């Protein structure tokens, strides 16, 4: 292998690794705060990418129907409770956010052909359609089970994943899609072409990670999320409701997923079920970080990206096998070096 | 920590009648009556396993209970959870402190004001200065991680964090637990000082001597029932209390 190929593969690996790192961070966050192993993380990637692709072909993405259905369900669930407890003042915002805004979005999509919009505006619309699904899914599927065991939450997580895959097939069809790149710029680095899109992915991921760091370190809501992850009872005594923390971190997870989807949509062809494998690679990174350490998870995910890229060159047929086999020595090492902590029961 | 001049001085903050708590089929509290007025320190003493911590957990909404809890003149709804009660001005400093170990002292304090921040208040820095006045030690340690503090400092941080919520009713669960005598003295001095700010304090303690010294009224809780109650001086003079909780031949 000469230097040129080495660089090309490295570039590929870092691009994918950056995406896996984002997903790994989302997985660690969701697990730390809610103890949910968030299998459907990858579906947000696919939904983000395919929603953008639908918008570009001038179609109304099926995502809007899911948004309307989930929003109405949340409105019914929470509305019923508010009515019973006679807290009428909270009804209007509930209805506006969960039913009003999705209806408005649907009306907007039907009124104006979305393929007329510039690319960045389409990306924003796609994000806005996908992100609210995060907190809505939390409200419908996970919030009623907040005190269930990790295993029960995992089973629900798988159910959500399967449902989203099925709906993805219904909404976007079995055909894969690829969106036009955000930039056509290309540089040359030691004889190997360096795509502008690659730089964009790495820079955007880095910026998002820095943004997340500031959110967790500098804002009171970020601190509240960390507090909930560290000590649930302590957080509740401060008036931080677990449901608020859950919704907030599912919103972040959905945002990270959709953003990743939009970033990689021009690089690889995304199918309705592509998200699972992408999410799983982020998961390997998260596992390397013990589902607890953000920096180790991000580095682990980068490693996964590089490993995948080089193994696709040397042993293309075994590329997934090699990546997922990585988890075995990591798990062995972790179980030998770390003390086993019993799951905390509340 | 601010005064509430519009409230009557003798106002009943918390009135509990017939409180029952059960863990499954086992009842831990068999109908407890208890009353706290504004600016009062009320103590609940009793042996280990009498249900003192259970009582506090039920009052703050961590455990389901039956019976009447009237807080600030309004019967508490049983659907109210911890977060709703915190918003109404109740706080608990739990026995285990429940600090955020991997966060700085300052961040722990800031989170104490989380609900006030959420409801639009932006005075947490001022409140934090007030807390630092009460606990100068916390100011020295403000950027240190909570997990690295000594036992006494942890208790101070737990109390300071609870005060950040500007509570009307402060509930303290065994603040002296596991602390050295000098620190205990310091903590109790601060509790007595807090009384001056008008907050009602419910102090649950095994250290009966220290608790009765600063309290206005006391209850003795034994096997889930109030066995004795009265002004703390009377309780401290009661031969049954002296024998069981204050030790023979020792002055208090």
Residues B100, A226: C-beta atoms closer than 8 Å = yes
> Is the model's pLDDT at A92 over the cut of 80?
yes
Provide the token pair at B10: 């003798």
pLDDT, mean of residues A58-86? 92
Q: Which of A104-108, A149-153, A194-198 has the lowest mean pLDDT?
A: A194-198
Provide the token pair at A340: 């086993």
User: How confident is residue A226, by pLDDT bands cut at 50, 70 and 90?
Assistant: very high
Task: Please write the tens of the pLDDT for every residue from B238-251.
Answer: 999 988 888 754 44
As a dihedral over the C-alpha atoms of residue A195, residue A201, residue A202, residue A203, rounded to 10 degrees, the angle is 100
Provide the token pair at B169: 């009713």
Residues of A in contact with B92 (CB under 8 A): 237
Residues A241, B83: C-beta atoms closer than 8 Å = yes
pLDDT, mean of residues B167-195? 94
Residues A237, B86: C-beta atoms closer than 8 Å = yes
Residues A220, B115: C-beta atoms closer than 8 Å = no
Residue A311, C-beta contacts closer than 8 angstroms, at least 6 positions apart: A318, A319, A322, A323
> Is the model's pLDDT at A325 over the cut of 60?
yes
* pLDDT value of position A187: 82
CA distance A233 to chain B (A): 7
What's the CA gap between B30 and B19, in Å, rounded? 7
Mutate to test the interface with B, among A234, A241, A248, A292 (most CBs of B within 10 A): A234
User: What would the DSSP string read from start to end of B178-217?
Assistant: T--HHHHHHHHHHHHHHHTTT-EEEEEES-HHHHHHH-SE
**CA neighbours closer than 13 Å in the CB half-sphere of residue B221:** 26
Task: Please write the tens of the pLDDT for every residue from A133-189.
Answer: 999 999 999 999 988 999 999 999 999 999 999 999 999 999 999 988 888 888 877
Residues of B in contact with A240 (CB under 8 A): 83, 111, 114-115
User: How confident is residue B76, by pLDDT bands cut at 50, 70 and 90?
Assistant: confident
**How many A×B Cβ pairs under 8 Å?**
67
Among residues B118, B132, B205, which one has the least CA distance to residue B163? B132
> Is the model's pLDDT at A190 over the cut of 80?
no
Residues of B in contact with A241 (CB under 8 A): 81, 83
From the list A231, A233, A238, the residue facing B114 with the nearest CB is A238
User: How confident is residue B9, by pLDDT bands cut at 50, 70 and 90?
Assistant: low
> Is the model's pLDDT at A267 over the cut of 80?
yes
Among residues A21, A65, A27, A59, which one has the least CA distance to residue A43? A27
Percent of chain A residues past pLDDT 70, beyond the cut? 97
> Is the model's pLDDT at A344 over the cut of 50?
no
Residues of A in contact with B62 (CB under 8 A): 233, 236
Q: Find the angle CA(A113)-CA(A115)-CA(A116) to the nearest 5 degrees.
A: 75
With CA atoms as reference, the chain B residue closest to A240 would be: B83
CA distance A151 to chain B (A): 24
* pLDDT value of position B3: 44
* pLDDT value of position A38: 96
Residues B103, A230: C-beta atoms closer than 8 Å = yes
From the list A224, A231, A241, the residue facing B98 with the nearest CB is A231
Q: Which of A16-25, A170-179, A269-278, B9-18 has the lowest mean pLDDT?
A: B9-18
- Residue B133: CB atoms within 10 A of its CB come to 10
Per-residue CA distances from B221 to A118, B32, B178, B204, B218 (Å): 71, 9, 21, 10, 10
Q: Evaluate the CA torsion angle A230, B174, B123, B150 in order and state its sign.
A: negative
User: How confident is residue B165, by pLDDT bands cut at 50, 70 and 90?
Assistant: very high
Q: What is the DSSP letter of B151?
A: H
User: How confident is residue A345, by pLDDT bands cut at 50, 70 and 90?
Assistant: very low
Among residues A298, A247, A304, which one has the least CA distance to residue A25? A298
* pLDDT value of position B79: 67
Residues B83, A223: C-beta atoms closer than 8 Å = no
Long-range contacts of B214-217 (CB under 8 A, 24+ apart): B214/B41, B214/B43, B214/B188, B215/B41, B215/B42, B215/B43, B216/B40, B216/B41, B216/B42, B217/B40, B217/B41, B217/B42, B217/B43
* pLDDT value of position B57: 94
Task: Please write the tens of the pLDDT for every residue from A23-64.
Answer: 999 999 999 999 999 999 999 999 999 999 999 998 899 999
């Amino acid at each position: 292998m000469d230097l040129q190929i080495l660089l090309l593969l490295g570039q590929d690996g870092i691009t994918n690794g950056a995406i896996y790192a984002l997903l790994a961070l989302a997985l660690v966050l969701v697990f730390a705060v809610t103890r949910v192993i968030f299998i459907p993380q990858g579906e947000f990637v696919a939904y983000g990418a395919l929603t953008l692709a639908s918008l570009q072909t001038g179609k109304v993405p099926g995502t809007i129907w899911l948004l309307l259905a989930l929003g109405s369900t949340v409105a019914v669930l929470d509305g019923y409770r508010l009515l019973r407890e006679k807290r009428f003042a909270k009804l209007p915002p509930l209805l506006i956010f969960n039913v009003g805004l999705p209806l408005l979005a649907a009306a907007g999509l039907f009124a104006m052909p979305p393929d007329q919009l510039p690319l960045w505006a389409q990306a924003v619309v796609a994000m806005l359609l996908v992100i609210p699904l995060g907190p809505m899914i939390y409200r419908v599927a996970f919030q009623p089970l907040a005190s269930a065991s990790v295993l029960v939450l995992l089973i629900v997580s798988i159910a959500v994943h399967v449902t989203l895959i099925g709906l993805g097939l219904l909404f976007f069809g079995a055909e894969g899609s690829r969106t036009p790149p955000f930039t056509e710029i290309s540089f040359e680095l030691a004889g190997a072409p360096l795509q502008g899109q690659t730089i964009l992915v790495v820079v955007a991921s880095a910026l998002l990670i820095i943004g997340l760091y500031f959110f967790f370190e500098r804002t009171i809501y970020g601190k509240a999320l960390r507090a909930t992850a560290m000590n649930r009872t302590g957080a509740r005594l401060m008036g931080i409701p677990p449901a608020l923390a859950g919704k907030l971190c599912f919103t972040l997870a959905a945002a990270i997923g959709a953003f990743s989807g939009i970033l990689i949509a021009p690089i690889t062809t995304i199918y309705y079920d592509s998200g699972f494998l992408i999410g799983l690679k982020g998961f390997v990174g998260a596992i390397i970080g013990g589902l607890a350490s953000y920096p180790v998870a991000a580095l682990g995910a980068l490693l996964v990206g590089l490993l995948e890229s080089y193994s696709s060159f040397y042993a293309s047929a075994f590329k997934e096998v090699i990546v997922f086999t990585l988890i075995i020595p990591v798990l062995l090492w972790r179980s030998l070096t770390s003390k086993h902590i019993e799951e905390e029961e509340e | 920590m601010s005064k509430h001049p519009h409230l009557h001085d003798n106002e009943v903050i918390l009135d509990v009648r017939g409180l029952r708590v059960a863990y499954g089929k086992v009842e831990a509290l068999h109908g407890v009556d208890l009353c706290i007025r504004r600016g009062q320190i009320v103590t609940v003493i009793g042996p280990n396993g009498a249900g003192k911590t259970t009582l506090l957990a039920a009052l703050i909404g961590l455990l389901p209970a039956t019976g009447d809890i009237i807080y600030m003149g309004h019967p508490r709804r049983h659907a109210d959870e911890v977060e709703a009660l915190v918003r109404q001005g109740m706080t608990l400093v739990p026995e285990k402190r429940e600090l955020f170990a991997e966060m700085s002292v300052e961040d722990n304090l800031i989170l104490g004001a989380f609900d006030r921040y959420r409801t639009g208040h932006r005075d947490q820095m001022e409140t934090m200065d007030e807390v630092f006045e009460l606990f100068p030690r916390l100011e020295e340690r403000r950027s240190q991680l909570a997990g690295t503090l000594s036992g006494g400092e942890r208790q101070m941080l737990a109390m300071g964090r609870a005060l950040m919520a500007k509570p009307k009713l402060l509930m303290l669960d065994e603040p002296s637990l596991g602390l050295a005598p000098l620190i205990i003295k310091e903590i109790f001095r601060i509790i007595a000082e807090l009384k001056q700010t008008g907050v009602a304090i419910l102090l649950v303690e095994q250290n009966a001597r220290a608790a009765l010294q600063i309290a206005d009224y006391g209850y003795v809780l034994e096997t889930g029932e109030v066995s004795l109650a009265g002004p703390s001086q009377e309780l401290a003079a009661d031969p049954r209390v002296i024998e069981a909780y204050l030790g023979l031949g020792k002055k208090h």
